[in-house]
Amino acid sequence: MRILFINNDGGGFADYLDVAEGTTVEEFFGQQIRGRDPADYLIRVNRQPVARDRVLQDGDRITMTPTKIEGAA
Amino acid sequence: MSLSQRQLVRIANDIRNRLLTLKRSKHRPVQGKLGNVIEQMERLGALRRKLNLCEARAWYAVGEKVIRQVEGALRDVPYHIEQVRETVQACNIRIPSLAEVYRELGQAAEEFDGLVYHKDSDLLAVLTEPIELQGIHLGEFEIQLHVPSLAEMRYNAIYRIFALDPHPAASNDAVTHPHVNDGLLCPGDAGAAITAALAAGRICDFFLLVRSVMTHYNPHSPFVSLDNWHGIACYECGDIASGDDVFWCAVCEHDFCGDCSSYCRRCDESTCTSCLDSCPACDEPVCPSCLTRCPDCEEPICKTCLEEQQCPCIEENKENQDEEAESTAAEEKRDGGEEHDGAVDVICEAPSVSTSPVSTDAA
């Protein structure tokens, strides 16, 4: 199935990705943002907060935005 | 006051139109870059005609030169083609539909507990919660997006951070947050993501990213560090000073209060009082850079006094020399006087001449 993934960590680009049926939000996070804690991210599916075990559906729009980003001077 | 559905639609439409204008503005650079490629092709075309001529007339030596020219012209072609490709790619931004932008605004209103639009200044804004970093209360901030600037994406014009309850750094009123100076946020690691979000009309993502920067402190690169937020402790006496009352010593590279700081009277460099020494010649406080040593007596002296030969040792030497000269003169005078006196004694001791008549006997 195909979903739209907007990764606001780094470049902030949006891509259509193919994911396996039954993939949960938590699993998808682990695949895309390795080595990071989901608690440090704002995760939205179709603009709504979701539980980690929510299963992704075809056509879902998922965004992941870090909550701690280093500014500068 | 929350925005009505009609207002949200109007704002979403405005945002979408601005993004369309931005996308269309990227056509002109493509024209320019394409022109460069065509110029190169025309040049190669001309060289090809030259080569044909050289081949026809058996001008092999000239042909070699033309081959070199072809080589040079070919070197620039990949660069110009890449330039065109990049500018074309910049045109391939998908403009969101009105519905999508509308949903973005709705999400922003939910994530931030409200969305406001300042009609007089065309600012779409959200409010952060009161921000506290490392125990320092900074207050609430309004993240303001200037909607018309979306058509141009000029960095300094597009969004600002307005402190509603400012608690600025003691040393600089304009720094209301460690990463905000004069209303401008330095987004650091979020820069690229913010630009991408705005270009794609993801207004909510933009606001979320800005908030993520503001609710996190980067101690390695603030405008003013939180350690010095309420002022700076004087390195000498420990008193807290701020703003114009903090002075930097260029010698020991520490901060000092007004009482513990001064300046070099020769180079005007700001220093602390401890880093200054008094020149024995002019008695002025000078910094180590302006102090040197007299080559004669090796005592410290400021460079100006040395150049003007004001070292006390010079005067001392002069005095000594004068004394010596006087002493020598005095001795010489004394010696010269004694000889002269001796001559007088000789005259005085000369035998006395008899006054009685001298009898002469005839033999």
Q: Do A9 and B185 touch (CB under 8 A)?
A: no
Kindly indicate the confidence band of residue A12, based on its pLDDT and cuts at 50, 70 and 90. confident
**In this structure, is residue A72 part of a structural domain?**
no
Residue A57 counted as domain residue = yes
Q: Residue B107: its chain A contacts at CB < 8 A?
A: 44, 47
Indicate whether B128 and B64 sit together in one domain. no
Domain carrying residue A17:
2-66
Task: Show which residues on chain A lie within 8 Å of chain B, measured between beta carbons.
Answer: 6, 8-14, 42, 44, 47, 63, 65-73
Contact between B179 and A68 using a beta-carbon 8 Å cutoff: no
Are B199 and B107 found together in one domain?
yes
pLDDT in tens, B247-256: 999 999 999 9
> Does B27 reside within a domain?
yes
In a shared domain, residues B106 and B159 = yes
Examine residue A53 and state whether it is found in any structural domain, yes or no.
Answer: yes
At B354, the pLDDT band (50, 70, 90 cuts) reads very low
Determine the residue of chain B that is closest to A13 in CA distance.
B196
CB contact under 8 A, B208 and A42: yes
A·B CB contacts under 8 A: 84
CB contact under 8 A, B205 and A6: yes
Give pLDDT tens digits for B87-127. 888 788 889 999 999 999 999 999 998 899 999 999 999 99
Residue B349 banded pLDDT, cuts 50, 70, 90: very low
Q: What ipTM did this prediction achieve?
A: 0.95
Where a domain ends, among B192, B226, B260? B226
Instruction: Examine residue B344 and state whether it is found in any structural domain, yes or no.
Output: no
C-alpha distance from B189 to closest chain A C-alpha (Å):
6
Within a domain: residue A73? no
Structural domain includes residue B217: yes
Same domain, B112 and B189: yes
pLDDT digits (tens, 9 = 90+) for B126-172: 999 999 999 999 999 999 999 999 998 776 679 999 999 999 998 88
Q: Say whether pLDDT at B355 is over 70.
A: no
Task: Let me know if residue B70 belongs to a domain.
Answer: yes
The residue that leads in pLDDT, B329 or B258, is B258
Domain of B147 in residue numbering reads as 98-226
Whether residues B127 and B207 fall in one domain: yes
Q: How far is CA B15 from the centre of its chain?
A: 37
Lowest mean pLDDT among A21-35, B18-32, B169-183: B18-32
pLDDT for the residue numbered B1: 54
Asked whether the predicted pLDDT for residue B363 surpasses 80, the reply is no
**Closest by Cβ to A70, choosing from B196, B216, B223:** B216
pLDDT digits (tens, 9 = 90+) for B182-241: 999 999 999 999 999 998 999 999 999 999 999 999 999 999 999 889 888 889 998 888
Calculate what percentage of chain B has a pLDDT beyond 70: 91
**Looking at the domain assignment, is residue A71 inside a domain?**
no
- Are B181 and B255 within one domain? no
Could you tell me the CATH number of the domain that includes residue A47? 3.10.20.30
Using a CB-CB distance cutoff of 8 angstroms, which residues of chain B are in contact with residue A71? 178-179, 185-190, 213-214, 216, 218, 221-222
Domain count, chain A: 1
* B356 pLDDT more than 50: no
pLDDT in the model for residue B309: 84
Give the mutation candidate from B189, B214, B220, B226 for the A interface (greatest A CB count, under 10 A).
Answer: B189
Check CB contact under 8 Å for B103 and A47.
Answer: yes
Determine, for residues B193 and A14 on separate chains, whether the beta-carbon distance falls below 8 Å: no
**In chain B, whose CA is at the least distance from the CA of A61?**
B100
